[in-house]
Amino acid sequence: MSLSVFDLFKIGVGPSSSHTVGPMWAAYRFLDELRQAGVFAQTKEVKAALFGSLAMTGQGHATDTAVLLGLMGERPDLTDPDQIQQRIEQLRQSQTLQLGGEHSIPFDEASHLQFMFGQSLPKHPNAMQLRAFDEAGIQLYQQTYYSVGGGFVLSEPETENAGDDRLRRDDDVPYPFRNAAELLQQCKTHGLSIAALVMENEKTWRSPEQYRTEVLQIWQVMDACIRRGCRETGVLPGGLNLKRRAAKLYTELTERPEAGFKDQLTVMDWVNLYAMAVNEENAAGGRVVTAPTNGAAGVIPAVLAYYDRFVPHSNEQGIITFLTVAAAIGMLYKRNASISAAEVGCQGEIGVACSMAAGALCAAMGGSNEQIENAAEIGMEHNLGLTCDPIKGLVQVPCIERNTMGAIKAINAARLALRGTGEHHVSLDSVIETMRQTGVDMQDKYKETATGGLAVNVVNC
Ligand code: SF4
């Protein structure tokens, strides 16, 4: 399976890649499948059922909204976040759904969209079933989808036939790699940096100019998200009554810039600000880049903004190198472990984002391939065992602050690696496998079910 950089970075909406972006894509795909089966026009009723983690934390993660939007023909990358609330309210008031934006069908949310609490399907903790019926109530079509992390969706037949391998074959690209050791070996054999090798592979799907444009667009969306997050005030939705903090911090930092000369660690405040701004936007259902998930969407933009604003001689090529190397590292986790918190806990979200950002910053600052691998390894090694226990099932606490921690840790990991020679004791492949095994051993209550950890020990108010 060869992944593209744009499989790791997708423009979408908050608050969750697996619980919002994935289910919206699944519902959108369901419409396509209805059309292909020739039953779209006859469909007069649709029923959706959410299983496992999608049921347990779906309300806090806006899975219900995502499914409804997808059934209305909305895509995560194109939908207007500012219109979402109004459209859902309209649907709820009228009890009518515009299927694919084309024809109206009655829709009573309580009976047509069901949270199957305590029930899971065997193949993945994030499962949903969609069924279509005609006017007489006869079932026309049904499909099961799995939201396997980072906005990736597999239908039941895809899991049976080829799993993720349906995406692309290894021999599609000139320099395939399955793990970090192979990536480093390919680079050594062909005399390429990690970024150069991945860009050669990307030529399989797009021209170098197109690649440059699309990668910079990813950075523009990340940067716009930071800027929006620094402006927006008020309380985040969902019932925790959590006040947004980024705008206040931004004001403090910009009102007295001279304070930064006295306190050398002010740069940490800025990195914290960038991460918080993105994740408050994510929690509010705003436009974010899934990187590699939404819950962890603040880590990579925060570290990249640090590179852009604070690293001497940073430039556009460095930004491209950063995102390319970050994606290369993300591919290793996607292939050999998981980027789904429902499978491996928060180590698969914040941990992976930290590892990606660490290697990416190291690369943008001129690190060797071995130093990059070292930085990525350090970024995960000290996130092993990190659980997912969001209070009230919302991507807010501990998630927003956890992004600041991931970003700061990534910068430290890059600096540690840059001070070394690239020689180190634990390989990136070993730490990825350790993360996978730790995820298997982790109890389900710590895997995005909001039934353990902070989710049960902190009173919701
Ligand atoms: S605790 Fe981590 S994995 Fe869980 S929702 Fe929050 S950011 Fe995502």
Give the C-alpha distances (Å, rounded to integers) separating 302 from 288, 296, 412.
Answer: 13, 11, 13
Give me the DSSP letters along 58-102: TTTTTHHHHHHHHHTT--TTTS-GGGHHHHHHHHHHHTEEEETTT
Q: Tokens 């699944």 belong to which residue?
A: 26
Q: What angle do CA 221, 320, 183 make, to 5 degrees?
A: 120
Output phi, psi for 80, to 5 deg. -90, 110
- Rounded to whole angstroms, how far apart are CA atoms 69 and 59? 14
395 pocket-lining for ligand 1 (C-beta < 6 Å): yes
Atom 6 in ligand 1: which residue has the minimum CA distance? 399
Q: What angle do CA 235, 393, 70 make, to 5 degrees?
A: 90
The tokens for 72 are 């209305």
Atom 4 in ligand 1: which residue has the minimum CA distance? 388
Ligand 1: centre distance to CA 20 (Å): 13
Instruction: Give me the tens of pLDDT residue by residue for the chain, a chain 461 residues long.
Output: 789 999 999 999 999 999 999 999 999 999 999 999 999 999 999 999 999 999 999 988 999 999 999 999 999 999 999 899 999 999 999 999 999 999 999 999 999 999 999 999 999 999 999 999 999 999 999 999 999 999 999 999 998 865 444 445 677 899 999 999 999 999 999 999 999 999 999 999 999 999 999 999 999 999 999 999 999 999 999 999 999 999 999 999 999 988 888 999 999 999 999 999 999 999 999 999 999 999 999 999 999 999 999 999 999 999 999 999 999 999 999 999 999 999 999 999 999 999 999 999 999 999 999 999 999 999 999 999 999 999 999 999 999 999 999 999 999 999 999 999 999 999 999 999 999 999 999 999 999 888 999 999 986 65
Ligand 1: centre distance to CA 208 (Å): 35
- Rounded to whole angstroms, how far apart are CA atoms 41 and 99? 10
Question: Which ligand 1 atom sits closest to the C-alpha of 348?
Answer: 3
351 pocket-lining for ligand 1 (C-beta < 6 Å): no
399 pocket-lining for ligand 1 (C-beta < 6 Å): yes
Best of 20, 57, 346, 438 for a ligand 1 pocket test (most atoms within 8 Å of beta carbon): 346
CA 293 to chain centroid, in Å, comes to 1
Ligand 1: centre distance to CA 279 (Å): 11
pLDDT at 52: 95
Give the C-alpha distances (Å, rounded to integers) separating 48 from 145, 317, 340.
Answer: 11, 45, 22
Ligand 1: centre distance to CA 342 (Å): 9
Contact 22, 153 (CB under 8 A): yes
Contact 282, 14 (CB under 8 A): yes
- Rounded to whole angstroms, how far apart are CA atoms 450 and 410? 26
Residue 125: count of CB within 10 angstroms of its CB: 25
pLDDT at 165: 45
- Rounded to whole angstroms, how far apart are CA atoms 388 and 125? 14
Best of 347, 349, 352, 458 for a ligand 1 pocket test (most atoms within 8 Å of beta carbon): 349
Give the C-alpha distances (Å, rounded to integers) separating 444 from 144, 151, 449.
Answer: 22, 21, 7
- Rounded to whole angstroms, how far apart are CA atoms 55 and 376? 33
The tokens for 367 are 């690190």
414 pocket-lining for ligand 1 (C-beta < 6 Å): no
pLDDT at 410: 98
Atom 3 in ligand 1: which residue has the minimum CA distance? 346
Best of 147, 397, 402 for a ligand 1 pocket test (most atoms within 8 Å of beta carbon): 402
Question: Which ligand 1 atom sits closest to the C-alpha of 296?
Answer: 7
275 pocket-lining for ligand 1 (C-beta < 6 Å): no
Strands 113-115 and 45-52: parallel
Helix (H, G, I), strand (E, B), or coil: what is residue 421? coil
Give the C-alpha distances (Å, rounded to integers) separating 378 from 300, 338, 352, 389.
Answer: 16, 18, 11, 23
Which residues, at least 6 apart from 305, have a Cβ–Cβ distance to it below 8 Å? 222, 223, 226, 270, 271, 274
pLDDT at 336: 98
Atom 1 in ligand 1: which residue has the minimum CA distance? 388
Give me the DSSP letters along 23-45: HHHHHHHHHHHHHHTT-TTT--E
Atom 8 in ligand 1: which residue has the minimum CA distance? 295
pLDDT at 168: 58
